[in-house]
Amino acid sequence: SRKKSVVPGPTEHPLQYYYTFWYSRRTPGRPTSSQSYEQNIKQIGTFASVEQFWRFYSHMVCPGDLSGHSDFHLFKEGIKPMWEDDANKNGGKWIIHLRKGLASRCWENLILAMLGEQFMVGEEICGAVVSVRFQEDIISIWNKTASDQATTARIRDTLRRVLNLPPNTVMEYKTHTDSIKDKTSFRNTKITL
Amino acid sequence: GTRIIYDRKFLLDRRNSPLAQ
């Protein structure tokens, strides 16, 4: 049973799920075992309503203003932003590579779509990540069942609609099993859509 | 059961609510 650390206030607008913000930062060049990854990731906080979300988000640095190798993760409460978590282990993620300058807007649109239940895939969404890197930024959305093609197609189509991406944007789907095998989150065969 | 669905505009309109400060 889940420990309810937060609840929506009486006049606040409740969300379908409770969510937790996480932040991670890595020194480039260091190896990342799943253990050191877990040590590098910090919880920012959990919220249960629209208003509580804004209280966190309004005080957070925009992804576009982060430097180095940093990630914000927003996952349903109880799901760790790790491939190995029970909710993620059979899942995968849609990955979108963004040229510098687009991350803040795209991240906001992505998480608003997730919090507002715009994806319409039942319990399938696990969370979303924005990854700030040197040459580009990457956003991704994780779901539970990588083999469920109807779900992954619906997530892709919703992403296209809510992100309003440039027409040449490359999207790729990667299973966490593949990420565990090749020990990298993003490099993979790209499927241009 | 019923799902709680909010569109982008609804969420953005709550941003400046006193409850969100």
H or E, element range at A163:
helix A149-163
- pLDDT higher for A4 or A5? A5
pLDDT tens-digit profile of A43-61? 999 999 999 999 999 999 9
Residue A170 has what pLDDT? 85
Locate tokens 């109807």: which residue? Answer: A150
Give the model's confidence band at A165: pLDDT under 50 very low, under 70 low, under 90 confident, else very high: confident
B12/chain A closest Cα distance in angstroms: 9
Backbone φ, ψ for residue A28 (5° rounding): -60, 145
Q: Quick one: pLDDT at residue A188?
A: 45
Which residue numbers of B have CB closer than 8 Å to A's CBs? 3-8, 10-12, 14-15, 17, 19-21
Mean pLDDT of A90-100: 96
pLDDT at position A17 is 97
pLDDT in tens, A101-151: 999 999 999 999 999 999 999 999 999 999 999 899 999 999 999 999 999
pLDDT number for residue A15 = 98
Looking at the partner chain, which of B3, B11, B15 has a beta carbon nearest the beta carbon of A16?
Answer: B3
DSSP state letters, A83-146: TTSTTTTT-EEEEEEEETT-HHHHHHHHHHHHHTT-S--TT-EEEEEEEE-SSEEEEEEEES-T
Strand A14-25 to A136-143 pairing = unpaired
Task: State both tokens at A124.
Answer: 């399938």
CB pairs under 8 A between A and B: 49
Least confident of A1-10, A21-30, A116-125, A169-178: A1-10
d(CA A13, CA A8): 7
Q: Rounded CA gap, A76 and A57, in Å?
A: 16
Q: pLDDT per residue over A7-16, tens digit each? A: 999 999 999 9
The alpha-carbon gap from A95 to the nearest alpha carbon of chain B, in Å, equals: 21
Query: Are the Cβ atoms of A9 and B15 closer than 8 angstroms?
Result: no
